[in-house]
């Protein structure tokens, strides 16, 4: 308990120092440089930090030419490639006249979407007007499943040749995930040291059996379109009866089944009802429906691997995250077993 508390305090101190360092970077001179590089005109007022920026530093920048959002972060190599894909997706939606308004990242004075300022990678897009949330002007609630169907219709002709090769619906054809899970299991078995080791050790059989269940019963699918991966009320803006979709930071190659699995986790509706709602707007084959539950198993397995190897935080925090993933895996396995048995989920 003492060690955990000490680590948490140390983590808080590091986070505070990082915020203080960032505040020194985000000064008037930096914002003026951004305005110059993106030809926004003179600043009208001091930019305001947006509270929704948890991973990125997000500011509202009001300049002579309009109202903008600036996103800034020190990117890893993988994050930079992810941003490049995000730009391709949002460019496509903008250029093809998507009926759902989405962000369009502006090019800078050199034609690039990202501007390097010190260690930071900066992006700018015109701020979408409206009220955050999923409640329309008439008081009705935006249906996320219907929104997903509309988005899939708009993005379905996105060129597959520009999508990254690897995607979750491959169900680990390369064997990479199984290799990582086996390595983690071996470490836990030989030298368990932490609470997270104990949680993983206690659920070793579940993880292995879930992986095998997937491999024995599901045929991998090709990625068919870029899925948004993060549709919820916090990423919706309403202006009158118009719905706008933001935050494409998690966009990835995938399948409609993958998107629908994510939405099914927060919906009180049965899967059959979700499918029926989707089909009122978009096409969804029975084969695609059959892949919704397996997507859940594979994502949970990936989440377990990520929590153990890559998640930052105290051992207690990681153990809590791992336990959450384990509970989700149990639920996904049960749902898929019911599907195989012909039972309603």
pLDDT digits (tens, 9 = 90+) for 158-215: 998 888 876 666 778 778 888 888 888 888 888 888 888 888 888 989 999 999 999 9
Decide if 322 is inside a domain.
Answer: yes
Is the pLDDT confidence value at 1 over 50?
Answer: no
Q: What is the pLDDT of residue 327?
A: 95
Are 43 and 113 found together in one domain? yes
Are 186 and 332 found together in one domain? yes
Decide if 213 is inside a domain.
Answer: yes
Taking residues 266-281, what's their average pLDDT?
Answer: 92
Q: How many domains does the chain have?
A: 2
Q: What is the pLDDT of residue 2?
A: 46
Decide if 239 is inside a domain.
Answer: no
Cβ contact 222:342 at 8 Å: no
Are 192 and 341 found together in one domain? yes
Decide if 190 is inside a domain.
Answer: yes
Are 319 and 207 found together in one domain? yes
Are 213 and 327 found together in one domain? yes
Query: Which of 48-52, 146-150, 165-169, 248-252 is the least confident region?
Result: 165-169
Q: Mark which of 95, 111, 127 sits at the end of a domain.
A: 127
Q: What is the pLDDT of residue 52?
A: 61
Are 176 and 71 found together in one domain? no
CA dist 233 and 142 (Å) reads 8
Q: Mark which of 127, 143, 162 sits at the end of a domain.
A: 127
Decide if 163 is inside a domain.
Answer: no
Question: What Å distances lie between residue 329 and 11, 300, 322, CA to CA?
Answer: 29, 5, 10
Is the pLDDT confidence value at 127 over 60?
Answer: yes
Are 113 and 38 found together in one domain? yes
pLDDT digits (tens, 9 = 90+) for 75-108: 999 899 999 999 999 999 999 999 999 999 999 9
Q: What is the pLDDT of residue 176?
A: 84
Q: What is the pLDDT of residue 314?
A: 85
CA dist 5 and 11 (Å) reads 10
Decide if 40 is inside a domain.
Answer: yes
CA dist 191 and 73 (Å) reads 37
Mean pLDDT rounded to a whole number for the chain:
87
Give 28's contacts (C-beta < 8 A, 6+ positions apart).
43, 46
Are 189 and 331 found together in one domain? yes
Residue 252 pairs with which residues in a beta bridge?
227
Are 198 and 54 found together in one domain? no
Q: What is the pLDDT of residue 137?
A: 65
User: From the CB of residue 3, how many other CB atoms can be counted at a distance below 10 Å?
Assistant: 10
Decide if 231 is inside a domain.
Answer: no
CA dist 10 and 213 (Å) reads 42
Decide if 275 is inside a domain.
Answer: no
Cβ contact 242:316 at 8 Å: no
Are 311 and 198 found together in one domain? yes
The CATH number of the domain holding residue 115 is 3.30.200.20
Are 42 and 116 found together in one domain? yes
Band of the pLDDT at 39, cuts 50, 70, 90?
very high
Are 192 and 327 found together in one domain? yes
**Residue 46 belongs to what domain range?**
16-76+103-127
């Amino acid at each position: 308990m003492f060690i955990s508390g000490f680590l948490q305090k140390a983590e808080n101190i590091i986070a505070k120092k990082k915020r203080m360092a960032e505040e020194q970077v985000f000064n008037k001179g930096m914002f003026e440089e951004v305005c110059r590089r993106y030809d926004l005109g003179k600043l009208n007022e001091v930019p305001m930090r947006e509270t929704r920026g948890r991973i990125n530093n997000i500011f509202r920048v009001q300049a002579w030419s309009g109202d903008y959002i600036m996103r800034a972060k020190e990117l890893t190599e993988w994050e930079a490639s992810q941003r490049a894909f995000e730009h391709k997706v949002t460019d496509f939606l903008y250029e093809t006249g998507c009926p759902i308004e989405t962000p369009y990242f502006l090019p800078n004075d050199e034609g690039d979407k990202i501007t390097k300022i010190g260690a930071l990678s900066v992006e700018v897009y015109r701020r979408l007007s409206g009220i955050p949330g999923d409640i329309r002007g008439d008081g009705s609630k935006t249906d996320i499943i219907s929104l997903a169907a509309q988005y899939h219709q708009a993005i379905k002709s996105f060129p597959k040749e520009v999508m990254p090769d690897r995607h979750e619906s491959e169900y680990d054809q390369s064997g990479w995930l199984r290799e990582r899970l086996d390595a983690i299991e071996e470490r836990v078995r030989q030298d368990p040291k932490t609470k997270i080791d104990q949680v993983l050790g206690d659920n070793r059989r579940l993880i292995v059996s879930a992986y095998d269940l997937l491999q024995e019963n599901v045929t991998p699918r090709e990625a068919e379109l870029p899925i948004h991966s993060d549709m919820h009320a916090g990423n919706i803006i309403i202006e009158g009866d118009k719905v706008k979709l933001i935050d494409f930071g998690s966009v990835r190659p995938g399948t409609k089944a993958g998107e629908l699995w994510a939405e099914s986790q927060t919906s009180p509706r049965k899967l059959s009802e979700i499918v029926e709602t989707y089909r009122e707007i978009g096409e969804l084959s029975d084969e695609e429906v059959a892949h919704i539950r397996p997507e859940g198993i594979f994502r949970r397995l990936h989440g377990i691997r990520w929590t153990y190897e890559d998640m930052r935080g105290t051992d207690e925090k990681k153990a809590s995250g791992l336990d959450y993933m384990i509970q989700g895996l149990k639920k996904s396995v049960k749902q898929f077993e019911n599907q195989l048995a012909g039972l309603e989920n």
